[in-house]
Amino acid sequence: MTKSEKLQIKVHGGREVSALLLSAAKPRQMLVLAHGAGAGMSHPFMENLATELAAVSIASLRYQFPYMEEKRRMPDAPGLLTATVAAAVRTAGEVAPTLPLLAGGKSMGGRMTSQAAAQGQLEAVKGLLFFGFPLHPPGTPGTKRAEHLAKVKMAMLFLQGARDPFADLTLLRPVCAQLGARATVHIVETADHSFHVPKSSKRDDAEVLRELAETTASWAEKLS
């Protein structure tokens, strides 16, 4: 497996954030992959997901949000988060100009990516991926966080754990149905928000990561 290449991404206001580019033997797409609220681009989930994606011919560019780069706990304001997403997508287009671009992320990273798309900042992107879309806080069901998705014009893939407390499937499924053919939902049985599965499932987390990568590759190949 090719080693990750370290890059720097310039964000507005003179900030720079770190990024990790992982190619594949014969890459077919490039995924710009954002981390979740509580862990950065080098979290084992992010690293292992990138490795599995490379195995199915999807290169990836993982990157830090400014607050994570600066070792702060509180996420940045939405405007800075979406600007960082847009900057990462521009960088991916520069380093892999011949590859179709995908963008998304884990939890908050995916939601910020979709907000950037809804604002018209990701015109070069062919499709969005959500590895656990955080539809609502645990114990507080609602769909307000999904309202902006109506403004997203490209295809979207929702990869969700069946036991995810951040996304009641009885709420998420109707949201996706309203998006029509743009939205595809893939449910990972017994998985939680972190895509962990219990021992009783007779699966392990590595198998789940492989499922996420293979589902992503199959969906990406169908994009026009």
Task: Write down all domains in the chain, each with its CATH number in brackets.
Answer: 5-221 (3.40.50.1820)
Is the pLDDT at 1 greater than 70, yes or no? no
Decide if pLDDT at 224 tops 80: no
216 contacts: CB under 8 Å, gap ≥ 6: 31, 53, 56, 58, 102, 129, 157, 159
CB atoms within 10 A of CB 181: 6
Q: Considering the chain, what percentage of its residues have pLDDT values greater than 90?
A: 94
Torsion of CA 44, 46, 48, 51, to 10 degrees: -150
In this prediction, residue 45 has a pLDDT band, given cuts at 50, 70 and 90, of: very high
Residue 210 burial (C-beta neighbours within 10 Å; 0-12, 13-18, 19+): middle
- Please report the pLDDT score of residue 2 as a whole number: 65
**pLDDT tens-digit readout, 164-197:** 999 999 999 999 999 999 999 999 999 999 999 9
Closest C-alpha to 116, from 90, 139, 144: 90
- Integer Cα distance of 6 and 23 in angstroms: 12
**Nearest-angstrom CA–CA distance, 34 and 18:** 12
For residue 116, pLDDT over 60 is answered with yes
